[in-house]
Structure 1
Amino acid sequence: MCGIVGFNWQDGDLIGQLTGLLAHRGPEQEGLYVGNGVSLGHRRLRIIDLSDNSRQPMSNEDGSIYVVYNGEIFNFQSLRAELERDGHRFRSKSDTEVLVHGYEQWGMGLLQRIRGQFAFCIWDSKDQCLVLARDHLGIKPLYFYSEGNRFIFGSELKVFLKADVPRQICKPALDYYLLFGNTPVGQSILQAVKKLQPGGYLIYDLKAARVAERGRYWQLRYRPDGSMTMPDVTKAIRDRLSAAVCSQLVSDVPLGAFLSGGLDSSAIVALMRPHVKELNTFSIRFDRPGYDESEYAKIASETFKTIHHQIQFDARVVRELIEQLPYYYDEPFADPSMIPTSLVSRVARQHVTVALSGTGGDELFAGYPRYQQIRPLLALNAMPGLLKHTTDALVAGINKIIASDILNKLRSFLGPKQGSLNVYLMLFSYMFRDRIERQIDLGQFDWLEDSFCYDDIITNVLSFDTQHYLPECLLTKEDRASMAVSLETRVPFLDLDLVELASRIPSRFKLKGLQKKYVLKKAMAGILPRQIIYRRKQGFGVPLAEYLRNELRDLAFDEVFAETGVQLYDRSLLEQAWQYHQSGRSDYSRLFWSVIMFNRWFKRWMQ
């Protein structure tokens, strides 16, 4: 992977400074282009064609087209052969050059042909325009700023924070962060800086000094095919996932895989194994019971004869990591699994340059407990008022005895009747557990309704998670954690053909009764051990709740009640949550983590 940055004026000193901020994304080579009214910068992590022939910014023969690019085009070899038949001549063996000649040949039609994980900018000097594009699912990041006569783009927000753009915080993005732990699709934490949407493109006209066109070249649509049979579907999944893994093994540097011992990561390792002579796999474990998947990782490693690396971490290492996270996560981000993802990336980078992961399997095939829970909660919320009131009183009475977070959350669904989107957002958020939290207005997020446009509730929640949770939480987390140590990660489950196949599979095959990922489990039968396929989902967790009560209590208190000039929550709410958490009555670790990460970010980048 790499880092890219650029803007619509010539300034060699500034482009050098901004490009340097992305050195962690590409520590091996820097490239700059300044001329014809633009400045482009690139930091390179060498993956395919390690020679200087693949240096970026890369141009065509007459210098009329330049490209800076982050990612991998997995079908570049077939596209290259097609372009060569049409008379194009290549000077490198890289996938980057396919973008140069592909744009010459097909113009914007290039976007309909490439498959992979990418974010790039093409400078077309003849048409005097900058063309930005981002991959279909949002695997690779791309931000932009366009105000007045200035246009800036970059792989990470830090380049804008150092480029003197207005630092006004975007209130809707902050509100979204406080409920869900990340900023939303299309908007960064800064009001003036936007994210290019997954499957999106943008054309900036230098002569007019404005964004001339912005849109989507691809968007996920669910069209369940009722004629599909289970045998046909399981075979199609096996074939497509296997092809996806094979296509993503193209590399001139060592490859490995993350291996937690879960269904998704084990499936990737199983399909990699025949094609990789010495397969290194990586996992971590924490010093608390319940956060140790080593038993299952060991089963998978021994089954597929991998060279497995497992390192144990504790609160001391987490404390050190907290100091570093705000630099690499340069806008507020509060999914606690950023901790283990960062740690396992460190372990992997000691042995390989590329690691495949199982990210995306849960969103394609319904792998989260919330998919089991949404239908009963909708039914609960739709009960007649008197029945809801009686049930709420009963639950409240029981909760006085057992003090359960689950019952606190359940009471949120016994309030006023909500639409299906709001019910899901209440379930999805780590908030909505007491009277104050239940007063949060979800009407401000009605723009998310575009994901809830299907007749089937499971299809709606899969649509939401794939278009919002996946790119803005999971893929952001994996990109920043891996790029912090110059590790490229690849996600075969998000192969475009597999994603489109999954969108045609009826939800009854994905969630069968209460069995999650039913069709994927059937597809992997005979390939993975039964104890891997049918183990209980654990998730990529960290014992944060315990750490914040013990080893990290002092750090948490200082951060949660620090004065930053931005009041995220009412102090009385935080004081009550702190008391409940420290007594063991409730788990407010996600709330505290969101405050800690925001405050750390604010002090690092805004003060």
Structure 2
Amino acid sequence: MSGFVCILHRDGAPIERALLQFLTDFLSYRGPDARESWIDGSIGMGHALLRTTQESKSERQPASLEGRYWIVADARLDAREQLIAELRHAKREVRASASDCELILQAYAAWGTPCVDRLMGDFSFAVWDAGHKQLFCARDHFGIKPFYHAQRGDVFLFSNTLNCIRLHPHISGELNDAAIGDFLLFGLNYNNETTCFRNIQRLPPAHSLTASSRGLQIKRYWTPPTDGRIRYGSPEQHVENFQSILEKAVADRLRTDRVGILLSGGLDSSSVAAVAKEVAGRKARASKIRGYTYVYESLIPDREGDYAREVGEFLGIPIQFVAMDEAQLFERWDETELNSPEPLDNPFLAVISDTYRDISTECRVLFSGEGSDNLMDFQMWPYVGDLRRRGEWRRLLTEVGNYLWIRPFPWRGIREPPCKSPGPVEGTDRATKIMGGASDSSKGAWIVVAAAMDASV
């Protein structure tokens, strides 16, 4: 992904050019195609560009429009044709070949901050409105693209790269005990507004942020629709509608000459591969598709390669097999380039990183079958509410029984609302509640005690 950074001095103090350039240069590994910065008094932006679409071949960032609006972004927009039609209807002159960041700028110029309601895709961006002396930032609906921010006094700083913010001299390395505790207990931070560092916050998915001399305002612009039902006349119509949506989603990501796909031979990745092959064949200039499959050749019985090979042969997609037999758990864990600013629990991080690095030499867009069901994780209760409102009691009992059989403890970690900015004591209380009381559970008890000692209570 491309990398960006921005510094705003809310008191009007000038930006230190050397510092901004230092932070921008740090992002060079994010974007090897171009690296530029821009300063106007108390606002400074830096960007490292990775081109992944045909429209981005002539893109430059930070980009400007009408001398009033400036943008830095890591964005890939869906439904471009629809957005362009709406912009033209709003009397904006927009080229069909405009880059995604240009479309976001045009949308902001046309509709202001509500422009985010018309955007679809994977994006995190910031627009500087020089007329109103205001920054408008947004993160996509599902949080595919990261966005981190920090405020220390009158300095507001943000980036899509956590380690970039940590390099600013005003940002300390003090840890957020609640986030660390969440990771040790559950494998992830349950508060999506925080990071593992106390001074650095995370903009949650489907949220926007406005910053000016008056302060910061964060608000949600979208919520996953869980009310109502989608009903068609027949099972065939459900399949046709799903296929149409899947084709559009794949087509929106096939805007480049070469793409890869992590092909397991299973239902999800094979479906994506089949649709990608079909959509690519309808293009005037077809994208070349190549598959990559992780396999075990001798360590354990594994037919993943056989299934992936069958799919590849049927679709006419060449496949490169990546043998995992020699991979070691937590291999090279102490290497600097593999270090993550926040904890990761993937024991095969080294071999996966090596594979992605090799794949990146052949293509810059990589499909997978991951994430197909993530939206519905922990979303049983809206469905239960719908069945209750409709009085479908027999189906409700059956569905809840099946759900509890699969997930015996569905309330763990989701019934307690996330704290805004928990301190050590708040994090201790939350962990205690989720575990059902520290006195009754030995699991994680040492974390509760350590957090309490750190808070001197």
| Fold match by TM threshold 0.5 | yes
- State the shift of 1:166 in Å: 2.2
Are the structure 2 counterparts of residues 297 and 129 from structure 1 closer, same or farther at C-alpha, using a change threshold of 3 Å?
A: same
Asked if the contact 1:122–1:131 (Cα under 8 Å) also holds between the matched residues in 2, the reply is yes
Percent identity of equivalent pairs: 25
Task: List structure 1 runs of 4+ shifted beyond 6 angstroms.
Answer: none
Asked if the contact 1:49–1:93 (Cα under 8 Å) also holds between the matched residues in 2, the reply is no
- State the shift of 1:324 in Å: 4.3
- Give the aligned residue type for 1:293: E
1:97 aligns with 2:107: no
Paired residues in the alignment total: 390
Higher helix share: 1
Q: Which of 178, 182, 201 does residue 172 from structure 1 map onto? A: 178
Match of 1:20 in 2: 25
1:131 aligns with 2:165: no
- State the shift of 1:321 in Å: 4.8
- State the shift of 1:167 in Å: 1.8
Q: Distance in 2 between matches of 1:139 and 1:421?
A: 25
Q: Which of 67, 72, 75 does residue 71 from structure 2 map onto? A: 67
Q: Distance in 2 between matches of 1:244 and 1:270?
A: 13
Q: Which of 74, 80, 93 does residue 76 from structure 1 map onto? A: 80
Q: Distance in 2 between matches of 1:224 and 1:325?
A: 49
Q: Distance in 2 between matches of 1:363 and 1:331?
A: 21
- Give the aligned residue type for 1:190: F
Match of 1:421 in 2: 411
- State the shift of 1:319 in Å: 6.0
Q: Which of 273, 287, 295 does residue 285 from structure 1 map onto? A: 295
What secondary structure sits across from 2:373 in the alignment?
helix
Q: Distance in 2 between matches of 1:272 and 1:366?
A: 26
Are the structure 2 counterparts of residues 108 and 78 from structure 1 closer, same or farther at C-alpha, using a change threshold of 3 Å?
A: same
What's the TM-score once normalised by structure 1's chain length? Answer: 0.59
Deviations 1:532-568 (A, max 9, x none): xxxxxxxxxxxxxxxxxxxxxxxxxxxxxxxxxxxx9
- State the shift of 1:325 in Å: 7.1
Q: Which of 108, 113, 116 does residue 113 from structure 2 map onto? A: 108
1:240 aligns with 2:245: yes
Q: Distance in 2 between matches of 1:48 and 1:423?
A: 39
Higher relative contact order (CA 8 A, sep 6+): 1
Q: Which of 359, 369, 384 does residue 358 from structure 1 map onto? A: 369
Are the structure 2 counterparts of residues 60 and 377 from structure 1 closer, same or farther at C-alpha, using a change threshold of 3 Å?
A: closer
Higher strand share: 2
- State the shift of 1:570 in Å: 5.5
Q: How does 1:192-211 map to 2 (within 5 A)?
A: 192-205=199-212, 207-208=213-214, 210-211=215-216
Structure 1 unmatched runs, 5+: 380-412, 414-419, 426-439, 447-567, 572-607
Are the structure 2 counterparts of residues 216 and 366 from structure 1 closer, same or farther at C-alpha, using a change threshold of 3 Å?
A: closer
Match of 1:230 in 2: 235
Match of 1:160 in 2: 165
Are the structure 2 counterparts of residues 343 and 237 from structure 1 closer, same or farther at C-alpha, using a change threshold of 3 Å?
A: farther
Q: How does 1:471-550 map to 2 (within 5 A)?
A: none
Are the structure 2 counterparts of residues 424 and 159 from structure 1 closer, same or farther at C-alpha, using a change threshold of 3 Å?
A: closer
- Give the aligned residue type for 2:121: G
1:307 aligns with 2:307: no
What secondary structure sits across from 2:144 in the alignment?
coil
1:6 aligns with 2:16: no
Asked if the contact 2:149–2:203 (Cα under 8 Å) also holds between the matched residues in 1, the reply is yes
Q: Which of 48, 56, 66 does residue 43 from structure 1 map onto? A: 48
Are the structure 2 counterparts of residues 303 and 192 from structure 1 closer, same or farther at C-alpha, using a change threshold of 3 Å?
A: same
What's the TM-score once normalised by structure 2's chain length? Answer: 0.76
- State the shift of 1:65 in Å: 0.7
What secondary structure sits across from 1:166 in the alignment?
coil
Comparing 7-16 with 338-347, greater Cα deviation is found at 338-347
Deviations 1:344-364 (A, max 9, x none): 423422321111222221325
Match of 2:278 in 1: 274
Structure 2 unmatched runs, 5+: 10-14, 281-285, 379-399, 416-429, 437-443, 448-457
Q: Distance in 2 between matches of 1:311 and 1:319?
A: 18
Q: Distance in 1 between matches of 2:37 and 2:20?
A: 7
Q: Distance in 1 between matches of 2:293 and 2:332?
A: 17
Cα RMSD of the aligned pairs, angstroms, is 3.2
